[in-house]
Structures are given as C-alpha cells and as structure tokens.
Amino acid sequence: MSIWVTPRTIAELTAASGNTASAAVGVQFTAIGDDWVEATLPLDERTERDAGVVDPGALAILAETLGSIAATMSIDTTRRMCLGQTLHVRHLQAAMAGPLRGRATPLDIGERAQLWKIQVQNPSDQCVCIAQLAVAVLDRLPSAPA
C-alpha cells in the first residue's frame, strides 16, 4: 500500500527540478515505489573532485533532494508544506565510479515532523553514504502556492 498522499511521476519530478542544484549536478529520478523514491547521481565533471572521487557536497544534494521530494509526496500539499530542518550525511567510503544510486525511505512520518533515511550505493551496490533528513510539516499559509 502506497504512502503517497500527493503522488508524482518521474516525469513530474524531473520537470519540477528544472533550475535547481540537483539538476545542476545531474540528479535523475529513476524509480518510485510504494514507500521510496530513487535517483541517480553521475560521477563526472559536475560532481567529482580530486582523483575522480565524488564530491561530498554532491552526495548531500542527492540526499536532500530525495528526502525533500519524498516528504512532500507524503503530505497533502494543498494544506501542508515541508521544510527541511536537519540533514546528517555520513560518508562511508570514497565513491570512484558512477552513477551512484540513492533511495529515500521513511523512518518516521508524523503529523508535524518526518524523518527520512537516504542510502547511496555505488554501481557495485556498496553503500558509500547514508543520510538522514528531518523535516517539519507546517500548515500552508493562504498566500503560499501549492
């Protein structure tokens, strides 16, 4: 059973991320399940640093993007909105090959707060990064667009 209150397609997520940091580093949404969202991050001139290793900031962009999208899809966006509070990113090993695949899954979806786990794996399915994104769920102001 799906947890999505405001479901989106991959095409809609791609269109919505047009002029964002995630688009600038090449994040591409690849799959949506009943309680998870996946995207890839390339390892190229936009995301790599010395010696062909992925820049940790690019991994943080991937994690924030996936967690925020998932949080927003899990609420009624006509009445509520999500605002990120804390992003904790733990880099487990250097990623030297891409694309990297991230998946956001819920740890807790509350009425006023949510916690999402984002795991990033290399092409060999080794976990290179694990992140947690905490978001506040707020009532939408009458003047705020959905």
Tokens at 76, concatenated: 């009624």
Query: Residues, the chain, total?
Result: 146
72-106 b/e (C-beta count within 10 Å ≥ 16 → b): bbbbebeebbbeeeebebeeeeebeebbbbbbbbb
Respond yes or no: is residue 45 known to be catalytic: no
Phi, psi (5° rounding) for residue 138? -120, 155
The count of other CB atoms within 10 Å of the CB of residue 4 is: 16
> Considering Cα of 39, then 43, then 49, then 54, what sign does the dihedral take?
positive
Residues with active-site annotation? 64
